Amino acid sequence: MELCFATNNQHKLDEVSQLLGDSFKVVSLEAIGCTEELPEEQDTLEGNSLQKAKYVSDKFNINCFADDTGLEVEALGGEPGVHSARYAGEQRNNEDNISLLLEKLSNQSNRSARFRTVITLILGNQIHQFEGIVNGEILKSRRGEKGFGYDPLFLPEGMNRSMAELTSSEKNAISHRGDAIRKLVAFLKQH
């Protein structure tokens, strides 16, 4: 069975392909001829991942799945959440986003946070959603060079290294995206 993963991120494509094995062929947006930016106009991760998956499924008539991820900080009422990539503006700059988050948390003692990913699968006109969460806290300064986004600030629960200090295999074993992908894979293997 062929499935489109609504992304052009090769790392994500490779990770999912390895987990699914030979039973499924995972293709990118580029492979199906989708060159436009996918809409993300909803106010929840669930809504955005559904909007992206539905856009691809409807326009290209293919079974597909899409993901959306956000960092949710307890002391900030769940910010940046669905706006994580654009927290400091439309330029989507990781350093600006990190600086704004640190500024907003400067007087906060509660630094509890979580990364959350929602994957929406559209398979034969049926919609299924899978959620992955990793809990932790926001550090007071950046640590580590690996990863991307807020990884240098995020200390996973029970660990003494930030997400940006973990190897990719260590990160995938505990990550929110990895958790959601494993749930997606388990579902697909049963169906």
Contacts of 166 (CB under 8 A, 6+ apart): 144, 146, 147, 159, 174
- Low-confidence residues in the chain, pLDDT < 50: none
Q: Are 55 and 42 in contact (CB under 8 A)?
A: no
User: Which residues participate in catalysis according to the annotation?
Assistant: 68
Q: How many domains does the chain have?
A: 1
pLDDT in tens, 49-78: 999 999 999 999 999 999 999 999 999 999
Model pTM score: 0.90
Domain that holds residue 133: 2-190
Identify the CATH number of the domain in which residue 172 sits. Answer: 3.90.950.10
Place of tokens 């392909």: 17
